[in-house]
Amino acid sequence: MSNRIVVSLSPHEKDDLNIEKIMWGVVIALAPAFLASVYFYGLHAVRVVALSLIFCVGIEYVIQKFVTKEKITAFDGSAAITGLLLAFNVPSSIPWWQLLVGSVAAIGVAKMAFGGLGKNPFNPALVGRAFMLASFPVHMTTWPVPLKNLWTLGADAVTGATPLGVLAEHGPANLPGYMDLFIGKIGGCIGEVSAAAILIGGIYMLYKKIITWHIPVFYLLSLAGFSGILWMVDSSKYADPLFHMLAGGAMLGAWFMATDMVTSPMSVKGQIVFAVGGGILCGAIRIFGSYPEGCSYSILIMNAFVPLIDKYTKPRRFGTEVNYEFPG
Amino acid sequence: MNLKTFKRGGVHPPENKFSAGVPIQPLGIPERANIILLQNLGAPSVPVVKKGDKVKVGTLIGKAEAFISSNLHSSVSGTVEKIDDVVGFSGYKTPAVIIKVEGDEWEESIDRSPDLVTDIELEPEAIVEKIKEMGIVGLGGATFPAHVKYLGSPDRKADTLVVNGVECEPYLTSDHRLMLEKADEIMVGIRVMMKAGRVDRALVGIEANKPDAVENMRNKAENYPGIEIVPLKVMYPQGAEKQLVKALLNREIPSGKLPLDVGCIVNNVGTAFAVYEAVQKNKPLIERVVTITGKKLKKTGNFLARVGSPSSMLLEAVGETMPEGTRKIIGGGPMMGKALNSIDIPIYKGTSGLVLVDEAETWRREPLNCIRCAKCVGVCPMGLEPYLLEKLAKKERFDACEAESIVDCIECGSCSYTCPSALPLLDYIRYGKTNVMRIMRERRQK
Amino acid sequence: MNPVILYSLATLGVLAAGAAMILFFVARKFRVDEDPRIDEVADLLPGANCGGCGYPGCRGFAEALVKAADAGDMSGLNCPPGGGDTMAAVGAFLGAEVGEATPMVAVVRCGGTCEKAPPKLEYNGPAKCDIAHKLFSGTNGCPYGCLGLGDCVAVCDYDAIHMDKETGLPVVDDEKCVACGLCVTACPRRIIELRPKGKKNRRVWVNCINKEKGAVARKNCQAACIACQICVKTCPEKIQAFIFKDNLAYIDTDKCIACGLCVPVCPTGAILATFTPPKPKPKTKPEAKPEPKPASEEATS
pLDDT digits (tens, 9 = 90+) for B271-287: 999 999 999 999 999 99
By three-state DSSP, how is residue A327 classified? coil
Whether B353 contacts B18, CB under 8 Å: no
> Residues near A26 by Cβ (< 8 Å), separated by ≥ 6?
A77, A81, A205, A210, A256
Whether C227 contacts C169, CB under 8 Å: no
| A-interface mutation test, from C120, C122, C129, C137, most A Cβ less than 10 A away | C122
Query: How far from each other are the two terminal CA atoms of chain B, in whole angstroms?
Result: 54
Could you tell me which of C188, C132, A15 has the C-alpha nearest to residue B339?
A: C132
Interface check B397 vs C, CB under 8 A: no
Could you tell me which of B390, B17, B431 has the C-alpha nearest to residue B236?
A: B17
**Number of C-beta neighbours around residue B20 at 10 A:** 22
Helix or strand holding residue B353 (H, E): strand B353-358
CB contacts of B334 in chain A (<8 Å) are: 10-13
pLDDT at B152: 79
CB contacts of B327 in chain A (<8 Å) are: 3-6
Q: Report how far residue A50's alpha carbon sits from residue A65's, in angstroms, rounded to the nearest whole number.
A: 22
In chain A, the residue whose alpha carbon lies closest to the alpha carbon of C136 is A7
Question: Number of CB pairs < 8 Å for A and B?
Answer: 162
DSSP class of residue C79 equals -
Q: Residue B234 falls within a domain, yes or no?
A: yes
Interface check B364 vs C, CB under 8 A: yes
Put simply, the answer to whether B242 touches A9 (Cβ < 8 Å) is no
Whether A181 contacts A82, CB under 8 Å: no
Regarding whether B384 and B263 lie in a shared domain, the answer is no
Interface check C211 vs B, CB under 8 A: no
Q: Which of A117-126, B300-309, B315-324 is predicted with the least confidence, judged by mean pLDDT?
A: B315-324
CB contacts of A5 in chain C (<8 Å) are: 121-122
- Region C268-284: what's the mean pLDDT? 82
Interface check A307 vs B, CB under 8 A: no
CB contacts of C131 in chain B (<8 Å) are: 427-428, 430-431
User: Number of C-alpha atoms within 13 angstroms, CB side, residue B210?
Assistant: 36
pLDDT at B442: 93
Whether B39 contacts B137, CB under 8 Å: yes
Higher pLDDT, C40 or B77: B77
CB contacts of A12 in chain C (<8 Å) are: none
User: Number of C-alpha atoms within 13 angstroms, CB side, residue C71?
Assistant: 10
For position B242, which CATH number holds? 3.40.50.11540
For the entire predicted model, the pTM comes to 0.88
Interface check C247 vs B, CB under 8 A: no
Whether B136 contacts B64, CB under 8 Å: no
Put simply, the answer to whether B159 touches A317 (Cβ < 8 Å) is no
Put simply, the answer to whether B368 touches A19 (Cβ < 8 Å) is yes
Put simply, the answer to whether A4 touches C131 (Cβ < 8 Å) is no
Q: Which amino acid is at A263?
A: T
What digits encode the pLDDT tens for the residues B184-242? 999 999 999 999 999 999 999 999 999 999 999 999 999 999 999 999 999 999 999 99
CB contacts of C121 in chain A (<8 Å) are: 4-7
Could you tell me which of B173, B166, B152 has the C-alpha nearest to residue B21?
A: B173
pLDDT over 90 (residue C83): no
Could you tell me which of B227, B236, B234, B238 has the C-alpha nearest to residue B199?
A: B227
Put simply, the answer to whether A261 touches B374 (Cβ < 8 Å) is yes
Q: Which of A172-181, B62-71, B105-114 is predicted with the least confidence, judged by mean pLDDT?
A: A172-181
Put simply, the answer to whether B434 touches C134 (Cβ < 8 Å) is yes
User: How far apart, in Å, are the Cα atoms of A55 and each of A44, A98, B276?
Assistant: 16, 11, 72
DSSP strand E in B137-221: where? 160-164, 201-207
- Place B120 in a pLDDT band, splitting at 50, 70 and 90: confident
Put simply, the answer to whether C123 touches A6 (Cβ < 8 Å) is yes
Interface check C125 vs B, CB under 8 A: yes
Out of B91, B363, B431, whose CB is closest to C137?
B91
- Region C234-257: what's the mean pLDDT? 91
Q: Report how far residue A6's alpha carbon sits from residue C125's, in angstroms, rounded to the nearest whole number.
A: 10
Considering B248, B281, B314, which residue would you say is the last residue of a domain?
Answer: B281
User: How large is the C-alpha radius of gyration of chain C?
Assistant: 27
| B-interface mutation test, from C122, C134, C147, C247, most B Cβ less than 10 A away | C134
Domain that residue B393 falls in: 375-445
In chain A, the residue whose alpha carbon lies closest to the alpha carbon of C122 is A6
The yes/no answer to whether this complex scores an ipTM above 0.95 is no
pLDDT at B278: 94
Those residues of chain A whose CB sits closer than 8 Å to some CB in chain C are: 2, 4-9
CB contacts of B364 in chain A (<8 Å) are: 8, 14
Interface check C244 vs B, CB under 8 A: no
- Place C295 in a pLDDT band, splitting at 50, 70 and 90: very low
pLDDT at C284: 59
| C-interface mutation test, from B89, B341, B345, B396, most C Cβ less than 10 A away | B341
Out of A2, A4, A9, whose CB is closest to C135?
A9
Whether B43 contacts B69, CB under 8 Å: yes
DSSP class of residue C254 equals T
Q: Residue B90 falls within a domain, yes or no?
A: no
- Region C18-25: what's the mean pLDDT? 95
| A-interface mutation test, from B6, B373, B388, most A Cβ less than 10 A away | B373
In chain C, the residue whose alpha carbon lies closest to the alpha carbon of A5 is C121
What average pLDDT does the structure give for chain C?
Answer: 86
User: How far apart, in Å, are the Cα atoms of C289 and each of C277, C292, C293?
Assistant: 16, 9, 12
Q: Report how far residue B359's alpha carbon sits from residue B326's, in angstroms, rounded to the nearest whole number.
A: 6
Higher pLDDT, A163 or B222: B222
Could you tell me which of A225, A266, A249 has the C-alpha nearest to residue A300?
A: A249
Q: Residue B404 falls within a domain, yes or no?
A: yes
Q: Which of A120-124, B400-404, C46-50, C107-111 is predicted with the least confidence, judged by mean pLDDT?
A: C46-50
pLDDT at C299: 43
pLDDT over 90 (residue B165): yes
The alpha-carbon gap from A132 to the nearest alpha carbon of chain B, in Å, equals 26
pLDDT over 90 (residue C52): no
CB contacts of C130 in chain A (<8 Å) are: none
Q: Report how far residue A51's alpha carbon sits from residue A103's, in angstroms, rounded to the nearest whole number.
A: 10
Regarding whether B277 and B394 lie in a shared domain, the answer is no
User: What SS3 string covers A82-127?
Assistant: HHHHHHHCCCCCCCHHHHHHHHHHHHHHCCHHHCCCCCCCCCHHHH
User: How far apart, in Å, are the Cα atoms of A71 and each of A65, A76, B35?
Assistant: 8, 12, 49
Q: Report how far residue C11's alpha carbon sits from residue C17's, in angstroms, rounded to the nearest whole number.
A: 10
User: How large is the C-alpha radius of gyration of chain A?
Assistant: 22
Interface check B366 vs C, CB under 8 A: no
CB contacts of C139 in chain A (<8 Å) are: 7
By three-state DSSP, how is residue B120 classified? coil
> Residues near B162 by Cβ (< 8 Å), separated by ≥ 6?
B202, B203, B205, B244, B245, B248, B249, B259, B264, B265, B266, B267
Q: Residue B289 falls within a domain, yes or no?
A: no
Put simply, the answer to whether C123 touches A5 (Cβ < 8 Å) is no
The alpha-carbon gap from C135 to the nearest alpha carbon of chain A, in Å, equals 7
Q: Report how far residue A95's alpha carbon sits from residue C28's, in angstroms, rounded to the nearest whole number.
A: 61
What average pLDDT does the structure give for chain B?
Answer: 93
Q: Report how far residue B9's alpha carbon sits from residue B377's, in angstroms, rounded to the nearest whole number.
A: 8
Q: Report how far residue A171's alpha carbon sits from residue A153's, in angstroms, rounded to the nearest whole number.
A: 34
- Place C293 in a pLDDT band, splitting at 50, 70 and 90: very low
- Place A202 in a pLDDT band, splitting at 50, 70 and 90: very high
**A223-A227-A231 Cα angle (round to 5):** 160
**Number of C-beta neighbours around residue A74 at 10 A:** 21
Considering B281, B305, B322, which residue would you say is the last residue of a domain?
Answer: B281
Q: Which amino acid is at A27?
A: V
Q: Where are the alpha helices (DSSP H) in C30-144?
A: 36-44, 57-71, 83-94, 129-135
pLDDT at A155: 60
What does the buried/exposed string (b/e) look like for B385-411 if buried means 16 or more CB atoms within 10 Å of the residue's CB?
bbbbbbbbbeeeebebbbebbbebbbb
pLDDT over 80 (residue C76): no
- Region B111-125: what's the mean pLDDT? 90
User: How far apart, in Å, are the Cα atoms of B411 and each of B251, B426, B446, C293?
Assistant: 21, 7, 29, 49
Interface check C127 vs B, CB under 8 A: no
Interface check A17 vs B, CB under 8 A: yes
CB contacts of B90 in chain C (<8 Å) are: 136
Q: Residue B276 falls within a domain, yes or no?
A: yes
Q: Which contacts qualify for A230-236: CB closer than 8 Å, 24 or more apart?
A: A230/A283, A230/A287, A235/A172, A236/A171, A236/A172
Out of B255, B369, B385, whose CB is closest to A117?
B369
User: Strand B287-294 and strand A159-160: pairing?
Assistant: unpaired
pLDDT over 60 (residue A263): yes
pLDDT at C298: 44
- Region B377-386: what's the mean pLDDT? 95
| C-interface mutation test, from B82, B90, B92, most C Cβ less than 10 A away | B92
Higher pLDDT, A235 or B85: B85
**Class of A19-313 in CATH:** mainly alpha
User: Number of C-alpha atoms within 13 angstroms, CB side, residue B88?
Assistant: 23
Could you tell me which of A286, A293, A282 has the C-alpha nearest to residue A220?
A: A282
pLDDT at A324: 76
Number of domains within chain B: 2
Order of strands, edge to edge, in the sheet holding B287-294? B24-26, B301-306, B287-294, B353-358, B326-331, B338-339
Q: Report how far residue B152's alpha carbon sits from residue B143's, in angstroms, rounded to the nearest whole number.
A: 19
Regarding whether B396 and B267 lie in a shared domain, the answer is no
- Place B1 in a pLDDT band, splitting at 50, 70 and 90: low
pLDDT at A154: 66
Considering B281, B311, B326, which residue would you say is the last residue of a domain?
Answer: B281
Put simply, the answer to whether A8 touches C136 (Cβ < 8 Å) is no
Put simply, the answer to whether B242 touches A3 (Cβ < 8 Å) is no
| C-interface mutation test, from A5, A7, A13, most C Cβ less than 10 A away | A7
DSSP class of residue A280 equals H
pLDDT at C286: 53
Please state whether the peptide bond connecting residue B237 to the residue before it is cis, i.e. omega within 30 degrees of 0: yes
Put simply, the answer to whether A19 touches B421 (Cβ < 8 Å) is yes
Whether B173 contacts B302, CB under 8 Å: yes
Q: Where are the alpha helices (DSSP H) in chain C?
A: 3-29, 36-44, 57-71, 83-94, 129-135, 151-155, 182-186, 214-220, 230-234, 262-265
pLDDT over 80 (residue C16): yes
**Number of C-beta neighbours around residue C134 at 10 A:** 17
- Region B56-85: what's the mean pLDDT? 93
Put simply, the answer to whether A315 touches B374 (Cβ < 8 Å) is no
